A and B are shown apart, each in its own frame.
Chain A
Amino acid sequence: MRKVGIVGIGQSRFGIRSDASLRELSFEAAKASLDDAGIPLDDVQAMVVSVASDELSYALQPSAQVVDYLGFNPKPSFRVEGACASGSMAVRTGWMTVASGLADLVIVVGAEKMTEVSTAAVTDVLGRAGDFMWEYPFGMTFPGYYALIARAHMAKYGTTEEQLSMVAVKNHHYGALNPYAHMRKEISLDKAMSSFTVADPLKLYDCCLISDGAAAIVLASDKLAGSLSKKPVWISGLGLGTDTISLSDRRDITTLDATVEAARQAYDMAGIGPKDIDVAVVHDCFTIAEIAAYEDLGFCAKGEGGKLIEEKRTYIGGDIPVNVDGGLKSKGHPIGATGVAMAAEIAKQLRGEADPGRQVENARIGLSHNVGGNGQHAAVHVFQVD
């Protein structure tokens, strides 16, 4: 298989984007990624689109809206889906398309429009990403799943509500420095701790935002990548793991085995280990998810994720800076866009082009971690620059 490099990155501003439709958001991101790569869309041979939910877009094949609006017809396009991990599935599909030799130049576009339906309806749709028959009917929601994980984690490892809130404080700290972030403001530990309960023990600031947004990357084969970009960002490892549909059916409720499996595959393929990672973006749909991700990705031992954030070791300057773009927590989580935005953020970091105050100096190896549902899917990608 051929080496594949990221040669263009783009993102729309995330947030409540009542000014833009799904297709317009996609265009914002795609245009930016093509300008960044310095190529016209005419040169691109295939498009992979990630829009997670038909129910939020009120349409079947919402990807067709994107392809048409961008003017890509009649070239091949392919939509992939894995709930909140859809974006990373799309990156993986784009990588496969180039690595296999099917195309030399591919654009991957992720987009989601989430704020056109009520919060209760979004809550309902996301709850149905879990076990539709055996868990969702009880009134289960997404925060509910992660609250069950959080309480079990706290009981087993002594993780505290303060430690959960510290994740939110960190991610808002960096999100405030990111011009594309949904909620660009710092929060205090006190404010996070005193916010209202969504699903006990998770409070408002433990939960990510419901956002509109889009992201895009341009992928090129090794030969082309070198001529298109001064600093191509190589995708050197990919992992994709799966786990039970029911949370109750897991080997261990406090561990996402899909993450453990995906990380193992990605580290093996890249020939590296967690200690080699200079910068990471992880799936912090809830603060407990970031703490579990530290552990399941091998950034610390199982059960020590709470301590890792408490000792600020995931801030810039610490052992391993995590979510210095604000994470899903502050940057926002337009579900189909998230995985693509993660790849774009790591590429930005490895190119040394992140905003002042949130650039990890001399970062050479980066990692993205994207979870679908409450751990039914997880994708881990490793990125490197020469």
Chain B
Amino acid sequence: MNEKVYGARCKDCGKEMYPAHARCPECGSEKLEPLEIAGQGKVLTYTDLYALPLDYERRYLRLAIVELDSGLRATGQLLDEKPKLGKRVRTTIGVVRQSGDRKIHGLQFVPV
């Protein structure tokens, strides 16, 4: 699978960001390059949603914010039967939502 998730890196000061901005929040530069969001990190917080939005027909959905080893944080689905704060996980990309025939790919986290 070729899907990837990108944030951005400032070409002037090196600041990494996710999501991307048009302008570097650190130095104001508009020279930004894509930065792939991938790798390992730890679970900062998570939740199991039982009141689900449209498109989901399941009992619950487990979401998390993970702090990657690069220091960047990302939100995604947590695919872990035994979630715990601080637990090591790695990113993967999968179908996070399906609306009719339309599949949306996005970040998921699995235990290391």
Contact = CB atoms under 8 A, between A and B. Distances in A.
Interface in B43-87: 44-56, 61, 63-65, 73-77, 85
B85 A246 contact: no
B94 to A, nearest CB: 11
A138 B47 contact: no
B54 A253 contact: no
B111 interface: no
Task: Say which size band chain B's interface belongs to.
Answer: 20 to 34
A138 B77 contact: yes
Contacts of B47: 144, 147-148, 151, 199-202
Given A134-B19, A246-B19, A247-B75, A151 B51 contact: no
Contacts of B77: 138-139
B68 to A, nearest CB: 10
Nearest to B46: A151
Given A131-B19, A249-B18, A137 B50 contact: no
A1 interface: no
Given A248-B74, A249-B19, A139 B65 contact: no
Interface residues of A, number: 36
Taking chain B's interface residues, is the majority helix, strand, or loop, or is none over half, making it mixed?
strand
A144 B46 CA distance: 9
Interface string A168-209: 000000000000000000000000000011111110000000
B104 interface: yes
B31 interface: no
A139 B85 contact: no
A124 B75 CA distance: 17
Given A152-B44, A253-B45, A199 B50 contact: yes
A222 to B, nearest CB: 40
A198 B50 CA distance: 5
Nearest to B107: A138
Given A139-B61, A144-B63, A120 B53 contact: yes
A60 interface: no
A131 to B, nearest CB: 7
B48 A199 contact: yes
B44 A143 contact: no
Given A138-B75, A248-B74, A151 B53 contact: no
Contacts of A94: none
Contact of B51 (A121, A123, A135, A253): A123
B27 interface: no
- 3 closest pairs, A vs B, by CB? A147-B47, A152-B45, A124-B53
Given A123-B51, A248-B65, 9 more contacts: A123-B53, A124-B54, A134-B74, A137-B106, A138-B77, A151-B85, A196-B50, A198-B50, A253-B44
